[in-house]
Amino acid sequence: MASCPDLVGVPDTLDGQRWSRTLLGVYREGGGTLQALQKEGIGDSDGILQPSGTAEARGDAMTTVVSLRGVQIYPGLLSPQMQANLVEDLRACARQAPFFTPVTASGKAMSVRLTSAGQMGWVSDRRGYRYERRHPSGAEWPAIPDIVLGLWRDLVSGERDPDCCLINYYGEGTKMGLHQDRDEADFQWPVLSISLGDEGLFRVGNTTRGGKTESVWLRSGDVLLMGGDARLVYHGVDRIRFGSSRLLPQGGRINLTCRVVT
Ligand SMILES: O=C(O)CCC(=O)C(=O)O
For residue 209, the Cα-to-chain-centroid distance in whole angstroms is 22
Note whether residue 202 is domain-resident: yes
Can you tell me which atom of ligand 1 is nearest the CA of 235?
A: 7
The pTM score is: 0.81
Q: What is the pLDDT of residue 62?
A: 58
The reply, when asked if residue 206 is annotated as ligand binding, is no
Spacing, Cα 257 to ligand 1 middle (Å)? 7
Note whether residue 83 is domain-resident: yes
User: Residue 174's domain spans which residues?
Assistant: 64-259
Rounded CA separation 1/200 (Å):
25
Note whether residue 175 is domain-resident: yes
Q: How many CA atoms lie within 13 A of 143 on its CB side?
A: 4
Note whether residue 32 is domain-resident: no
Spacing, Cα 12 to ligand 1 middle (Å)? 26
Question: For ligand 1, is residue 235 a contact (CB within 6 Å)?
Answer: yes
Per run of 10 residues, the mean pLDDT along the chain (length 262 residues) is 38 28 29 32 39 38 81 96 98 97 94 97 94 96 98 96 98 96 96 98 97 97 97 98 96 98 97
DSSP designation for 77: -
Cβ atoms of 236 and 179 within 8 Å: the answer is yes
Can you tell me which atom of ligand 1 is nearest the CA of 236?
A: 7
Q: What is the pLDDT of residue 64?
A: 81
Domain CATH code at residue 181:
2.60.120.590
Residues present in the chain in total: 262
Note whether residue 20 is domain-resident: no
Cβ atoms of 221 and 77 within 8 Å: the answer is yes
For 58, list phi and psi in degrees, rounded to 5: -90, -5
Instruction: Count how many domains the chain has.
Output: 1
Cβ atoms of 58 and 64 within 8 Å: the answer is yes
Cβ atoms of 215 and 201 within 8 Å: the answer is yes
